[in-house]
Chain A
Amino acid sequence: MECKQAVSFMHDYLDGDLPSEQARELKSHLDNCFECRAAFRRLEETEMMLFAANRKSEAVSVSDDMTDRIMSFLPQPKKHNPAWNWVRRHPALTAAAAFILIMLGTSINFWNADNQLVVRGSDLERVQVAGNTVIVPEGTTVSGDLTIERGKLEIYGEVEGNVTVIDGSAYQASTARVAGQVKDINQAFDWVWYKLGNIVSEVAYRQ
């Protein structure tokens, strides 16, 4: 065994993890090598001194009032709200829930944002508006769809597309003729479905 290898073994021995086979090799080397024997003795002494110098040698000790000081430093005990713990453990679900809440929140906000009448259609020139009432006069023909939000619709003439009334009412006179469907949406929930339906049909349409 080379002396360099022996020194490495000595350190492992002092660490307490030199396998017994290597320990025997080290011993037979030490029996034959005076230099290494001396080096080993010095290392052993150093190891002993290191533990001795540090063990219980600390006359300096932490201030007596340290515990009290630390306890007074501590922030007020955290209220470990179980709901909050749940949130911390399920970040993905929390994010999803927050997303849905925000979506619903904004939709509902839109739904009752104001009381203004909204009229949408492709042929609004033939439509009369009086207050919050929209009138399709007798004898006129509105081409395309007609959508009313937050208002009354009175149809005396013809509509060639679908009629949608959101949060309002529709009145059809006996002379009225609607080529498409008449939809009456009064609930926020319906309205959301209507919006979703629009998105879906738009997507479908684009494809």
Chain B
Amino acid sequence: MDNLETRLVKLALKGDQRAFAEIVDLYKDRIFHLAYRMLSNRHEAEDVVQETFLRVYRNLDRYDPGQKFSTWIYRIGTNLSIDRLRKRKPTYSLDAEIGDQDGADGYALIPGDNRTPETEYMISETRTTIHEAIDDLPPKYKTVMILRYLQELSLQEISDVLDMPVTTIKTRVHRGREFLRKKLESQNH
């Protein structure tokens, strides 16, 4: 499997700094969004991004080209995010929620194409409901839901990233989906 990432890894291993910068450019946004959804905190998410790439860099020689590069980097980013989530003091997530609401970071300000303010409001409200509902999930469900719906990984890829059987991932997606369905129904009624 000699795709772009594998070639970049090979170059970076030979000491090509530009090749590594290329890898950073390819993945920094994905890892940031993953960490941001997991932690709901911009600053912490950026820390996770930096730590992820530092680990990737240090362990480049251990990357197995038989494995997808994305799986490998997602695993590192996911584990770092989960670690931070677990280390948090119980009050912390509340602070983060107040300080870093979706509306506050410019979400609702992005104009949609030909959307009236009403539909815009409806969509952004649903979106907020979904994000809040995902936020409320216990980490093991949260991780799976973010990888599935934000990163759009397949169940098999999630199972590779988390190193868990696909059946476990399925169960978590099903439960997460049911949980979200109930949340959305209660919003609409």
Residues of B within 8 A of A54 (CB): 37, 130, 146, 149-150
Is B131 an interface residue, CB under 8 A from the partner? yes
Is A42 an interface residue, CB under 8 A from the partner? yes
Q: Say whether A66 contacts B28, CB under 8 Å.
A: yes
Q: Say whether B54 contacts A49, CB under 8 Å.
A: no
Binds A, one of B13-21, B71-79, B89-97: B13-21
- Complex CA gap A69/B25 in Å reads 12
Is B98 an interface residue, CB under 8 A from the partner? no
- Complex CA gap A73/B105 in Å reads 27
Q: Say whether A50 contacts B49, CB under 8 Å.
A: no
Query: Given A51-B149, A54-B149, A62-B32, do A42 and B58 touch, yes or no (CB 8 Å)?
Result: no
- Complex CA gap A54/B147 in Å reads 11
Q: Say whether A66 contacts B152, CB under 8 Å.
A: no
Is A70 an interface residue, CB under 8 A from the partner? yes
Q: Say whether A80 contacts B61, CB under 8 Å.
A: yes
> Closest B-chain residue to A61, C-beta based?
B29
Q: Say whether B42 contacts A70, CB under 8 Å.
A: no
Is A63 an interface residue, CB under 8 A from the partner? yes
Q: Say whether A42 contacts B185, CB under 8 Å.
A: yes
Majority secondary structure, A binding face? helix
Is B109 an interface residue, CB under 8 A from the partner? yes
> Closest A-chain residue to B110, C-beta based?
A59
Is B80 an interface residue, CB under 8 A from the partner? no
Q: Say whether B21 contacts A67, CB under 8 Å.
A: yes
- Complex CA gap A54/B184 in Å reads 15
Query: Given A15-B170, A58-B33, A66-B24, do A46 and B180 touch, yes or no (CB 8 Å)?
Result: yes
Is A29 an interface residue, CB under 8 A from the partner? no
A-B contact number at CB 8 A = 111
Chain B interface residue count, CB cutoff 8 Å, equals: 50
- Complex CA gap A50/B107 in Å reads 16
- Complex CA gap A54/B181 in Å reads 15
Q: Say whether A60 contacts B106, CB under 8 Å.
A: yes
- Complex CA gap A58/B146 in Å reads 13
Q: Say whether B173 contacts A11, CB under 8 Å.
A: yes
Q: Say whether B24 contacts A70, CB under 8 Å.
A: yes
Query: Given A66-B24, A67-B28, A70-B53, do A46 and B15 touch, yes or no (CB 8 Å)?
Result: no
Is A116 an interface residue, CB under 8 A from the partner? no
Q: Say whether B181 contacts A42, CB under 8 Å.
A: yes
Is B50 an interface residue, CB under 8 A from the partner? yes
Q: Say whether B32 contacts A61, CB under 8 Å.
A: yes
Is B155 an interface residue, CB under 8 A from the partner? yes
- Complex CA gap A70/B36 in Å reads 18
Within 8 A of B (CB), among A10-66: 11-12, 14-15, 17, 42-43, 45-47, 49-55, 57-63, 66
- Complex CA gap A98/B136 in Å reads 55
Residues of B within 8 A of A71 (CB): 17, 20-21, 24
- Complex CA gap A63/B15 in Å reads 25
Q: Say whether B17 contacts A50, CB under 8 Å.
A: no
- Complex CA gap A51/B145 in Å reads 10
Residue-wise, chain A 165-190 has the 8 Å CB interface mask toward B (1 for contact) of 00000000000000000000000000
- Sorted nearest first, the 4 A-B pairs with minimum C-beta distance are A62-B32, A53-B130, A54-B150, A11-B174
- 12 extra interchain contacts, Cβ-Cβ under 8 A, other than A53-B149, A62-B46? A12-B170, A49-B126, A50-B148, A59-B107, A61-B32, A62-B29, A66-B28, A66-B49, A67-B24, A74-B17, A77-B15, A78-B61
> What are 20 of the A-B contact pairs (CB < 8 Å)?
A11-B177, A15-B155, A17-B155, A42-B181, A43-B177, A43-B178, A49-B180, A53-B126, A54-B37, A55-B152, A60-B106, A61-B29, A62-B28, A62-B45, A67-B28, A70-B54, A71-B17, A73-B50, A74-B17, A74-B20
